[in-house]
Amino acid sequence: MTERKVFRTLLSLEEARNRILEYFSPQPVGFEETPIWQALGQTTAEDIHSSIDVPGFDRASMDGYAVRANDTFEAEERHPVKLRVIGTIEVGDESGIEVRTGEAAEISTGAPVPKGANAVVMVEHTQRKDDQLDVFRPANPSENIMAAGSDLMTGELVLRKGERLTPREIGLLSAIGLERVKVCRRPKVAIISTGNELIPVGGSLSYGKIYDINANVIASAVTECGGEALLAGIASDTIDDLKQKVEAGLEHADIVLTSGSTSAGKGDLLYRILDSYGSPGVIVHGLAVKPGKPTFVAITRGKPVFGLPGYPTSALTIFTLLVRPIISRMTGRQETEQEERVVAKCASRIYSAKGRREFLPVHLIKDETGSLLVYPTTEGSGAITSLAMADGFIDIPEETQFLEEGEEASVQLFSQTPILPDLVIIGSHCVGLDILLECIRRSDPSFHSKIINTGSAGGFNAIKRGEADVAGIHLLDELTGKYNLPFLERYGIRDTALVVKGYVRQQGLIVAKGNPKGINGIEDLLTSDVSFMNRNRGSGTRVLFDLCMKRIANERKTTTERLVSKVKGYEIETKSHSAVAAAVSHGKVDAGLGIRTAAEMYGLGFVPIAEEHYDFLVLRKRLEKESVKAFLEALGSAEFKTQLQRRAPGLVPSEETGTILS
Amino acid sequence: MTERKVFRTLLSLEEARNRILEYFSPQPVGFEETPIWQALGQTTAEDIHSSIDVPGFDRASMDGYAVRANDTFEAEERHPVKLRVIGTIEVGDESGIEVRTGEAAEISTGAPVPKGANAVVMVEHTQRKDDQLDVFRPANPSENIMAAGSDLMTGELVLRKGERLTPREIGLLSAIGLERVKVCRRPKVAIISTGNELIPVGGSLSYGKIYDINANVIASAVTECGGEALLAGIASDTIDDLKQKVEAGLEHADIVLTSGSTSAGKGDLLYRILDSYGSPGVIVHGLAVKPGKPTFVAITRGKPVFGLPGYPTSALTIFTLLVRPIISRMTGRQETEQEERVVAKCASRIYSAKGRREFLPVHLIKDETGSLLVYPTTEGSGAITSLAMADGFIDIPEETQFLEEGEEASVQLFSQTPILPDLVIIGSHCVGLDILLECIRRSDPSFHSKIINTGSAGGFNAIKRGEADVAGIHLLDELTGKYNLPFLERYGIRDTALVVKGYVRQQGLIVAKGNPKGINGIEDLLTSDVSFMNRNRGSGTRVLFDLCMKRIANERKTTTERLVSKVKGYEIETKSHSAVAAAVSHGKVDAGLGIRTAAEMYGLGFVPIAEEHYDFLVLRKRLEKESVKAFLEALGSAEFKTQLQRRAPGLVPSEETGTILS
């Protein structure tokens, strides 16, 4: 390991932002001419004035008759004025008709009002026979006429420089006949990933390597905020490769982003390269925020180079805080911050890192009143599932140790078009749940759910905290031999939550097709040639397995600990039935405990062990939430039961499915 | 004019939606494989499972030493355990190292934990000399190790079918090494404009023609909701042309949209064509909503054909209500309605069309507390400026005659990324205001303002209603000879609003360069060979002109009415100084009243008439609003005064500029 570089002066986020602006002024980098409808989302590069009047002529705004207003002043319902119809003017006509006193011309909405006429009488206020017209009401001058230039005048400022084009602005540009519009060119952003462990997506992984996640995450985030991403590939940790990639980035792009290799260690190489191009070089080296300590910024050949942290959630957080505003400004956008923020209430006390300002990844859920609740994501920052769960992050100041339950927090969103789920399901995983959600979406295609697999215990906790709307659970109580209901008391949610009947599942050992090792039950896992894959602690399946172990240990008069040490793979945990089946299917292990359905989906063998009750836990007050209603309705429906029987043979619904048990 | 077709059975919006779904099921139309980062915003076409474990190996999550946990159990701060360092494992390394009892291997964050080791001791808890390592704290098994497959397991469901891809989901796909992803193909939408009066943008207008607005508005709206727009051009109102365009649309697209020509009259042609392809043909013909009565829907060769109204605001409204949800479903998106809606309070009573459900175009403004207020747009539905002003529309049921002041209304937004202004300025137009806003944006590039030019009187009314944050005003009180202040009383806003000092403007006649007609004053407008362009009623400039007329009429002992009848062009109104200058510059008129600055910008002649006070009206309670503070601060700044003097010679600031006058 090379010498470690110490971060001497960590800057605050604001200091870093100011220092960047001292050396670099984020301005549009040029313009391009684009057909107007394709310029959607881009920003005008100049003020745009109308070169024409809109409309270009006095335009009838009703179907009727063009007249001289003076001729109709005496018209009454009982004593109509009589005029002579001299012709018809259709939309788009250049008729040459002139209306004189005593005359009228039939006219369509949108057609040009003829010379001489200064009003249009609505057809409803007339009666016509051949060329004789009776007018029953007087018309005022200008009535039902949209005057030339009254909408937009020649010379009028139609759009300012720096306006973002939505369909409305594109309508304005169409009205003045503009075919192409000068918009700010998207700034080009070169994206370099660094690290010897990285393999580009699509490549094949050797031992110790991982796929490059940041390149694609950052590229899509750049696209989302209006930049043009240039994927510059992966640089290995050598001077030559880093230098070559950085120089190519500086040549072709307006901004260069790197990620990884910025922490102490080999990261030094990058600073040395960036400083070698002359002043100012590296201007920010280390941020006093969590995450983001290893962040750096350099100004090289007049262009900003950012070094983002290596973990995807951290990289996207620092990108959002430091880089996105710069790119936005360079697109010429008048981006307002509130677009990317929502205010939500802390569902419980949220603790923060001591002594550092923290940008904490959070996820959002709507409660029964539609208010947003905020929860910290529970996975570590290195996990991609942490990024997948996080809707954004909250800013906790250095001196704040926690946010109180119920306190309002402003959430900065990771995506500019966040999709908040209608229904959040946290708990035990079951393929029956997938089938149920499909049933709901068949009748409501816009129904959006978020599923987080934490096992049954995680489901109880999530319902207790209000973090989930629904939890799938199958916990066996050792004392009573009953499933699920006894745990309401144990988790202290007897009065606030209830259990809805789900279905019965067959649990058993998932083994290879044809059961080549001849496994007949749990005891066979204690022989040395059978490898096993366990489930995660807190999952109902794991509880079942541990109870089996306990029973056998009692029979054999030994301790559970000693017994499980004989199970080869007891310590290897995985999170779902499918994952167990996949591991067996790939020959990684010989057996794992899981449901029959998973075994059948993978065409594997199955050794039945127990029947268990898979039910759903719901917070009482959330019964009012529309999405929860839809969920329970679908659960009790005949369609769901039919689908379940057809597609998941190991899952058995009953008459009671969908009814409340407590 | 051809025979009018009567709309016999107008359907409600819901009836129309249901009837469409009876005949057409909006489903994704196929899929395409796209590089993952370019699939941003698209929707997965299938469930995606991981084919690998993430990470693929036990991964160190800290810099430190890989050890056997058992070896460290007795470590204490004062009595460190001593181990021998046998090597170094860098990120990406395939080292072949095996750690035995009494040994340790140096390891970097992200590197694979070597065989034999089952924990990583943080470097902070060790001290090393050559190959001798002191460990000061015990490590638990699995400590600082991210186990293989603990983030994602082989076989695990990573993304469901129908998920929209944001940077987060793209991160998940990267983690499992996916290079391309199967996403739903964007549905193709052919867009046909109909009407003999239409000229495509970029073409040249002859008399009676207007530019085709809808094609570009609808094309960009289609793009925004995930469709692929095919601009099919303008069809004239002939059977042959309409038929040819519709057939081409049906051949190449999944949906066909037409606009215009749907009202009674020649629109009949289109229905006949669509019915001629056989059953079901036209299934919706007329909606019982305003706007949108002439809307139709046909199912032709299994594809939906929509006929949208001709006015842009109406076309976009019906598109949003009826077509956008269909396109969204066809993109496979789980679009949730709340994204496109905001709740706002009615700023005053809003009246609705009697006897019809109305979708009323509205615009939004934020009050001093950040709450949204909603106002109906004041321009007619035929005006493009009406579309430009509208942020969306509200739904007023048939039986509701008005919405009460303070009532909450749900606003359906026209754009999925609406940009709400920080500051709304309604009132008299002045180039000084443009210069001021530039000053603000120089220090805050994200500052977004909306300017609506209504003249001074409109400004007073807008402040009274709270519709504007700031109004530019220059109204002369005939009795006192004073500007602006006397009108606080007259508009009944003495206690709620105040006047902030702006600057002095020179008003005068803008004439052609070199003043070829020798115009020396207002009186010269009364001679027959001088043509004039007036300003809009309610503008301060118009008030000034009318006062001049009154004075001259008094002198000449005639009525003002008789006098103004001698001004050639008195009835022609335009909305801004620049528009007057542009008209003079283009030789459309000989003279118009306006400010010197406008004359100089166009290099025209100027005949001074009066000095006037251009000030700003602000609602007292809005002084708390950040954007208003920024506005007033910039107004009083030295920079603004410098800019004004340099760029707008006719506008004269003073010491008082930016101070409160009342």
Q: Chain-wide mean pLDDT for chain A?
A: 88
**A192–chain B nearest CA distance, Å:** 15
Q: Chain-wide mean pLDDT for chain B?
A: 88
Structure confidence at residue B319 (pLDDT): 95
In chain A, which residues have their Cβ closer than 8 Å to the Cβ of B576? 153, 156-157
pLDDT, tens only, A66-120: 999 989 999 999 999 999 999 999 888 877 899 999 999 999 988 999 988 989 9
- C-beta separation of A114 from A98 below 8 A: yes
pLDDT, tens only, B346-359: 887 888 877 789 99
pLDDT at B78 over 50: yes
**Nearest chain A Cα to B40, which residue?**
A220
More confident residue, A478 or A641: A641
Whether A249 contacts chain B with CB within 8 A:
no
Which residue in B278, B231, B283, B239 sits closest to B257, CA to CA?
Answer: B231
CA A157 from chain centre, in angstroms, equals: 37
Q: How far apart are CA A92 and CA A55, in angstroms?
A: 12
Which residue in A411, A627, A635, A453 sits closest to A538, CA to CA?
Answer: A453
Instruction: Give DSSP secondary structure letters for B211-272.
Output: E--HHHHHHHHHHHTT-EEEEEEEE-SSHHHHHHHHHHHHHH-SEEEEESS-STTTTHHHHH
Q: Which of A180, A201, A215 sits opposite B178 (nearest CB)?
A: A201
Q: Is the peptide bond before A114 cis (omega within 30 degrees of 0)?
A: no
Note whether A419 contacts B585, CB cutoff 8 Å.
no
CA A97 from chain centre, in angstroms, equals: 60
Residue A229's φ and ψ, nearest 5 degrees, are -85, 135
Q: How far apart are CA B202 and CA A51, in angstroms?
A: 12
Q: Which amino acid is at B117?
A: A
Whether B536 contacts chain A with CB within 8 A:
no
Q: Which of B92, B153, B171 sits opposite A384 (nearest CB)?
A: B171
Whether A528 contacts chain B with CB within 8 A:
no
Which residue in A214, A446, A189 sits closest to A326, CA to CA?
Answer: A189
pLDDT, tens only, A252-287: 999 999 998 654 555 678 888 898 888 899 999 889
Q: Give the other-Cβ count within 10 Å of B104's Cβ.
A: 29
Whether B32 contacts chain A with CB within 8 A:
no
The mean per-residue pLDDT over the stretch A366-395 comes to 81
**Helices A239-252 and A268-275: angle between axes, nearest 10 degrees:** 50
Evaluate the CA torsion angle B336, B340, B346, B352 in order and state its sign. negative
Q: How far apart are CA A241 and CA B316, in angstroms?
A: 52
pLDDT at B261 over 70: no
Structure confidence at residue A146 (pLDDT): 85
- Mutation to test the A interface, candidates B118, B191, B197, most A Cβ within 10 Å: B197
Which residue in B194, B257, B263, B261 sits closest to B7, CA to CA?
Answer: B263
From chain B residues 99-158, the ones with a CB under 8 A of any chain A CB are: 106, 108-112, 146-147, 149-157
- C-beta separation of B309 from B318 below 8 A: yes
Q: What six digits make up the tokens of A498? A: 């209830």
Rg of chain A over all Cα atoms, to the nearest angstrom: 35
pLDDT, tens only, A123-134: 999 999 999 999
> Quick one: A18 exposed, middle or buried, by C-beta within 10 A (0-12, 13-18, 19+)?
exposed
**Nearest chain A Cα to B174, which residue?**
A213
- C-beta separation of A634 from A495 below 8 A: no
pLDDT, tens only, B31-71: 999 999 999 989 999 989 888 888 888 899 899 999 999 89
For tokens 């004062």, what's the residue?
B78
pLDDT at B4 over 50: no
Give me the long-range contacts of A438-444 (CB less than 8 A, separation at least 24).
A438/A643, A439/A634, A439/A637, A439/A639, A439/A640, A439/A643, A440/A630, A440/A631, A440/A634, A441/B162, A441/B334, A443/A634, A444/A630
Q: Which of A156, A216, A585 sits opposite B37 (nearest CB)?
A: A216
Spatial neighbors of B297 by CB under 8 A, at least 6 apart, are B16, B19, B20, B282, B283, B284, B304, B305, B306, B307, B322
The mean per-residue pLDDT over the stretch A497-508 comes to 94
**A576–chain B nearest CA distance, Å:** 7
In chain A, which residues have their Cβ closer than 8 Å to the Cβ of B205? 52, 56, 177
Range with the lowest mean pLDDT among A149-153, A533-537, B204-208? A149-153
Which residue in B337, B387, B396 sits closest to B363, CA to CA?
Answer: B387
More confident residue, B379 or B275: B275
Q: How far apart are CA B580 and CA B589, in angstroms?
A: 9
Q: Which of B36, B167, B221 sits opposite A414 (nearest CB)?
A: B167
Note whether B208 contacts A57, CB cutoff 8 Å.
yes
Q: Which of A172, A212, A383 sits opposite B174 (nearest CB)?
A: A212
**B37–chain A nearest CA distance, Å:** 5
pLDDT at B368 over 80: no
Spatial neighbors of B534 by CB under 8 A, at least 6 apart, are B542, B545, B567, B569, B570, B571, B572, B573, B574, B592, B593
pLDDT, tens only, A431-443: 888 889 889 988 8
- Mutation to test the A interface, candidates B27, B37, B93, B534, most A Cβ within 10 Å: B37
Q: How far apart are CA B268 and CA B282, in angstroms?
A: 11
Structure confidence at residue A137 (pLDDT): 94
Q: How far apart are CA B408 and CA B372, in angstroms?
A: 10
Q: How far apart are CA B438 and CA A390, in angstroms?
A: 38
Structure confidence at residue B418 (pLDDT): 61
Q: How far apart are CA A322 and CA A324, in angstroms?
A: 6
Banded pLDDT at B1 (limits 50, 70, 90): very low
pLDDT, tens only, B454-500: 778 889 988 998 888 999 999 988 888 899 999 999 999 999 999 99
CA angle at B638 for the pair B635 and B640, rounded to the nearest 5°: 50
Structure confidence at residue A418 (pLDDT): 61
Which residue in A146, A235, A157 sits closest to A190, CA to CA?
Answer: A235
Structure confidence at residue A76 (pLDDT): 92
**Nearest chain B Cα to A169, which residue?**
B388
* % residues pLDDT > 90 (chain A): 51
Whether B58 contacts chain A with CB within 8 A:
no
Structure confidence at residue A5 (pLDDT): 43
pLDDT, tens only, A290-334: 888 889 999 999 999 999 988 899 999 999 999 998 998 899 875
More confident residue, B370 or B474: B474
Instruction: Give DSSP secondary structure letters for A342-380.
Output: EEEEESS-EE--TTSEEEEEEEEEE-TTS-EEEEE--S-
Note whether A223 contacts B172, CB cutoff 8 Å.
no
Q: What six digits make up the tokens of A264? A: 């102490």
pLDDT, tens only, B87-109: 999 888 877 899 999 999 999 98
CB–CB contacts below 8 A, A to B = 396
What letter does residue A608 receive in the DSSP assignment?
Answer: E
Spatial neighbors of B490 by CB under 8 A, at least 6 apart, are none
pLDDT at A486 over 60: yes
What letter does residue B354 receive in the DSSP assignment?
Answer: T
User: In this predicted complex, what is the ipTM?
Assistant: 0.80
Banded pLDDT at A419 (limits 50, 70, 90): low
**Nearest chain B Cα to A222, which residue?**
B167
Q: How far apart are CA B69 and CA B139, in angstroms?
A: 5
pLDDT at A449 over 60: yes
Structure confidence at residue A267 (pLDDT): 61
Note whether B231 contacts A37, CB cutoff 8 Å.
yes
Banded pLDDT at A384 (limits 50, 70, 90): confident
Q: What six digits make up the tokens of B475? A: 């109204």
In chain B, which residues have their Cβ closer than 8 Å to the Cβ of A316? 167-168, 171
Helix (H, G, I), strand (E, B) or coil at A459: helix
Q: How far apart are CA A401 and CA A355, in angstroms?
A: 9
Note whether A383 contacts B146, CB cutoff 8 Å.
yes
More confident residue, B324 or B455: B324
Q: pTM of the entire structure? A: 0.80
Provide the total of helices (H) and of strands (E) in chain A, helices listed first. Answer: 17, 37
Banded pLDDT at A6 (limits 50, 70, 90): very low
- C-beta separation of A617 from A459 below 8 A: yes
